[in-house]
């Protein structure tokens, strides 16, 4: 069972609201510079996460992620949490009545399950979306006590201007996390919120006390459930001989007890489930509950091993008896299940890549062949076409799949930092070098795959050193004398036209020939519009599965509108638009009316290209033209904020400036 929560040991000094407001403006204008801001470190870190996740600071309300029907299902899935929180909610309803404060209970995803408190405050809360079914993770509602507590695992208070989103700044919120006593898994959050004039930093111990009260109730509830299961299972685990290879679970897949030799029998059956790690095991197909938290899918289980534990004809648990030898295992259906796991583990990694168009299938076929060789692979394509997914699939299908996949963006660092990131350094190699030194990405990829994105941005000074590593399979950490032998698979990617870079002296010819032994070009989305519907439907399905939002459908008119766009940002841009509609629309059927601003039929985020530029673009490749449009799209879309545009494009700010100069693009600010 987990230990009670303690009040967070955080800096209790609160800066003035005026200073924080000014810091927020400076933070956004500087593109995320957080040094020396007059805000608490916890808040500065949270702002940074919000900015990197693309949270809109001008948002006015939390998105509604579950309407009435979905909310009812969500509450049913959280029956134990709701039951154990009920006394606290009843107590808070009375306690907070005259304090202009509300108390909120959320599930493990930060979705609001219940709101109680002062009636006037409940009415005020509606204005910022603080209603049952709304979402409060940082990814959707920025810095707030619930989302930031979930991100840090600590009780949290966010006061007024400390909120990342403009609409929440008149409020103060204080949250405590609720963990399952079984495995300390976060299963919910309790939060007290009110307008900022009700601010009291001593709300923290009060909320922590309520969270502890719920956890103690959960622990007692679990203990009562387990005692009932034990009484009805007739299992005495103290007798290891009689109970050889037995395990006892509750309906939520939590392990109650197991016999001593269960681990060795599981190992003999090639099952990776380890009873000593308190992993949850899905027993849903045998009548257990759906598990919302990380768990073992239980595909290896045979129905012949399962004995239902019942009380008054109701399933309350499961007793599993493992076969004691391989011969008896063969008489059950277990081998078929084990075989299916082996098949799944050997499934084609390229099946994860969406798209049935001829160009995608041709790229997949070539990548599949390349994966079986030790040759370097060069992925060519615009930003957002899925180069990272291809790199991962090539790694998983290769002989290096048992090793790590280490990625590095060559355009994200200065020359000196990139050198250190690639090769590592010894202690004292330079000012600021880490104590004890640092392993570089090449060394970390030993035995696996090194994926270098934006390879065209690698400084000329580093290129010959890297080429030598590819030839000799040895590296020298910065400041070191002795070499380190490495063996890794290289995958590189770029949205540059490297042949032109070579001709202009910006990229070494010998390194280019080494990298381009196997070159795979990935077409932009505009050339394979038949894949748009499949990608959109897949994104919709994944969001609904992970975020517990109200089930949504995509109308035929919306599909037509999506296919009629050029998508200069490619798959990444399409995914962003679908996600935005899912979170921001309360409609169950998404239509063109739900499209974000600038994406309505007939609207465009790309400004007209000057005549001179049009003429010069005739000499550019199709790849260059698409890149130029994507850059212009991002710059205009973020109102000239270069830092935000660079992050959206997935490149460094310095890289974006160079490309703006290359295409003669001006900042509209």
Give me the sign of the Cα torsion angle 73, 76, 81, 84.
Answer: positive
| pLDDT over 90, % of the chain | 36
- Distance CA(162)–CA(157), nearest Å, equals 9
pLDDT of residue 348: 79
CA 135 to chain centre: 16
In the structure, what pLDDT confidence band is assigned to residue 237 with cuts at 50, 70 and 90?
low
In the structure, what pLDDT confidence band is assigned to residue 7 with cuts at 50, 70 and 90?
very low
pLDDT of residue 265: 85
- List the CATH code of the domain at 611-662: 1.10.10
- Distance CA(277)–CA(611), nearest Å, equals 66
CATH number for domain 525-594, candidates 1.10.8.60, 3.30.420.10, 3.90.1720.10, 2.80.10.50 = 1.10.8.60
CATH superfamily of 17-212: GAF domain (3.30.450.40)
Element (H, E) at 424: strand 424-425
The better pLDDT of the pair 138, 546 is held by 138
pLDDT of residue 669: 57
| Per-residue pLDDT tens over the stretch 584-639 | 887 888 999 889 888 888 776 543 333 334 434 444 445 567 678 778 877 877 77
In the structure, what pLDDT confidence band is assigned to residue 93 with cuts at 50, 70 and 90?
confident
User: Residue 175: helix, strand or coil by DSSP?
Assistant: strand
pLDDT of residue 436: 57
Q: In what order do the strands lie in the sheet with 186-195?
A: 112-117, 101-107, 186-195, 171-179, 156-159
**Average pLDDT score over residue span 172-191:** 92
pLDDT of residue 47: 94
**Average pLDDT score over residue span 537-557:** 78
pLDDT of residue 550: 67
Asked if 145 and 163 count as a contact pair (C-beta separation under 8 A), the reply is no
The better pLDDT of the pair 426, 577 is held by 577
Residue 11: count of CB within 10 angstroms of its CB: 10
**Average pLDDT score over residue span 556-564:** 90
* DSSP 8-state code for residue 247: E
pLDDT of residue 588: 83
CA 344 vs CA 196, 348, 351: distances in Å: 53, 9, 12
Element (H, E) at 408: strand 405-409
Of the candidates 58, 54, 10, 16, which has an alpha carbon nearest to the alpha carbon of residue 32?
Answer: 54
pLDDT of residue 13: 53
**Average pLDDT score over residue span 1-25:** 64
In the structure, what pLDDT confidence band is assigned to residue 370 with cuts at 50, 70 and 90?
very high
pLDDT of residue 340: 33
| Per-residue pLDDT tens over the stretch 34-61 | 788 889 999 999 999 998 888 899 999 9
CA 504 to chain centre: 39
Asked if 230 and 143 count as a contact pair (C-beta separation under 8 A), the reply is no
**Average pLDDT score over residue span 311-329:** 78
- Distance CA(477)–CA(440), nearest Å, equals 8
In the structure, what pLDDT confidence band is assigned to residue 488 with cuts at 50, 70 and 90?
very high
| Per-residue pLDDT tens over the stretch 190-232 | 999 998 876 666 678 888 889 999 999 999 999 999 999 999 9
Residue 339: is its pLDDT beyond 70? no
Could you give the residue ranges of the DSSP H alpha helices within 326-455? 326-330, 334-345, 358-371, 387-396, 415-423, 441-444
**Average pLDDT score over residue span 97-117:** 90
Span between the terminal Cα atoms of the chain, in Å: 57
Residue 364: is its pLDDT beyond 90? yes
- Helices 642-649, 622-637: axis angle to 10 degrees equals 130
pLDDT of residue 325: 55
- Distance CA(577)–CA(585), nearest Å, equals 12
| Per-residue pLDDT tens over the stretch 462-472 | 999 999 999 99
pLDDT of residue 615: 38
From 109-118, 399-408, 658-667, the region with the lowest mean pLDDT: 658-667
Could you state, in order of their start, the residue ranges of all structural domains in the chain? 17-212, 234-345, 349-521, 525-594, 611-662
pLDDT of residue 546: 62
Give the largest Cα separation in the chain, rounded: 87
pTM of the predicted model, to two decimals?
0.50
**Average pLDDT score over residue span 159-174:** 93
Residue 177: is its pLDDT beyond 90? yes
pLDDT of residue 668: 66
| Per-residue pLDDT tens over the stretch 65-80 | 888 788 888 898 899 9
- List the CATH code of the domain at 349-521: 3.40.50.300
| Per-residue pLDDT tens over the stretch 405-426 | 898 888 877 788 888 889 887 7
pLDDT of residue 238: 58
Residue 661: is its pLDDT beyond 90? no
């Amino acid at each position: 069972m987990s230990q009670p929560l303690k009040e967070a040991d955080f800096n209790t000094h609160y800066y003035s609201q005026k200073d924080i407001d000014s810091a927020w403006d400076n933070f956004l204008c500087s593109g995320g510079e957080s040094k020396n801001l007059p805000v608490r470190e916890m808040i500065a870190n949270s702002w940074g996460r919000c900015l990197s996740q693309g949270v809109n600071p001008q948002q006015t309300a939390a998105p509604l992620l579950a309407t009435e029907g979905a909310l009812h299902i969500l509450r049913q899935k959280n029956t134990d949490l709701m039951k154990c929180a009920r006394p606290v909610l009843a107590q808070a309803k009375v306690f907070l009545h005259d304090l202009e404060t509300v108390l909120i209970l959320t599930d493990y995803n930060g979705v609001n399950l219940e709101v109680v408190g002062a009636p006037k405050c409940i009415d005020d809360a509606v204005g910022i979306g603080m209603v049952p079914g709304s979402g409060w993770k940082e990814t959707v509602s920025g810095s707030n006590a619930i989302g930031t507590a979930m991100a840090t695992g600590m009780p949290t208070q966010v006061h007024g201007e400390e909120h990342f989103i403009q609409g929440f700044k008149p409020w103060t919120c204080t949250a405590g996390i609720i963990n399952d006593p079984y495995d300390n898994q976060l299963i919910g959050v309790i939060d007290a919120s009110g307008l900022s004039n009700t601010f009291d930093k001593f709300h923290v111990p009060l909320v922590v006390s309520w969270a502890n009260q719920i956890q103690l109730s959960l622990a007692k509830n679990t203990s009562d459930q387990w005692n009932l299961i034990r009484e009805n299972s007739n299992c005495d685990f103290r007798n290891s001989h009689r109970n050889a290879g037995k395990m006892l679970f509750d309906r939520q897949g939590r392990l109650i007890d197991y016999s001593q030799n269960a681990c060795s029998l599981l190992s003999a059956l090639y099952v990776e489930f380890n009873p000593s790690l308190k992993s949850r095991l899905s027993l849903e197909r045998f009548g257990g509950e759906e598990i919302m938290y990380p768990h073992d899918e239980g595909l290896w289980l045979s129905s012949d091993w399962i004995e239902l534990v019942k009380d008054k004809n109701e399933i309350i648990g499961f007793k599993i008896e493992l076969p004691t030898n391989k011969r008896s295992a063969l008489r059950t259906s277990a081998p078929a299940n084990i075989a299916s796991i082996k098949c799944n583990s050997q499934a084609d990694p390229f099946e994860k890549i969406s798209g049935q168009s001829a160009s995608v299938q041709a790229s997949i076929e070539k990548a599949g062949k390349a994966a079986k060789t030790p040759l370097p692979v060069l992925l060519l394509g615009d930003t957002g076409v899925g180069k990272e997914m291809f790199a991962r699939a090539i790694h998983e299908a290769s002989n290096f799949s048992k090793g790590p996949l280490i990625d590095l963006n060559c355009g994200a660092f200065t020359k000196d930092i990139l050198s250190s990131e690639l090769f590592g350094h010894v202690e004292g190699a330079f000012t600021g070098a880490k104590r004890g030194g640092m392993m570089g990405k090449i060394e970390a990829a030993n035995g696996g795959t090194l994926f270098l994105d934006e390879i065209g941005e690698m400084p000329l000074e580093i290129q010959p050193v890297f080429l030598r590593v590819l030839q000799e399979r040895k590296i020298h950490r910065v400041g070191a004398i002795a070499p380190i032998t490495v063996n890794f698979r290289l995958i590189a990617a770029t949205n540059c036209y490297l042949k032109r870079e070579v001709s202009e002296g910006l990229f070494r010819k010998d390194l280019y020939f080494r990298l381009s032994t196997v070159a795979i070009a990935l077409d932009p989305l505009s050339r394979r519009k038949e894949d748009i519907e499949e990608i959109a439907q897949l994104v919709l399905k994944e969001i609904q599965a992970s975020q517990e939002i109200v089930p949504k459908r995509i109308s035929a008119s919306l599909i037509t509108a999506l296919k009629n766009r050029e998508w200069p940002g490619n798959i990444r841009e399409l995914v962003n638009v679908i996600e935005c509609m899912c979170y921001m629309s309360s409609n169950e059927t998404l239509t063109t009316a739900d499209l974000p601003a600038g994406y309505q039929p007939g609207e465009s985020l790309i400004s007209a290209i000057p005549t001179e530029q049009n003429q010069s673009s005739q000499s550019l490749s199709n790849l260059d033209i698409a890149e130029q449009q994507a850059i212009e799209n991002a710059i205009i879309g973020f109102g000239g904020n270069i830092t935000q545009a660079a992050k959206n494009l997935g490149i460094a700010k310095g890289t974006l400036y160079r490309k703006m100069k290359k295409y003669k693009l001006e900042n509209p600010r």
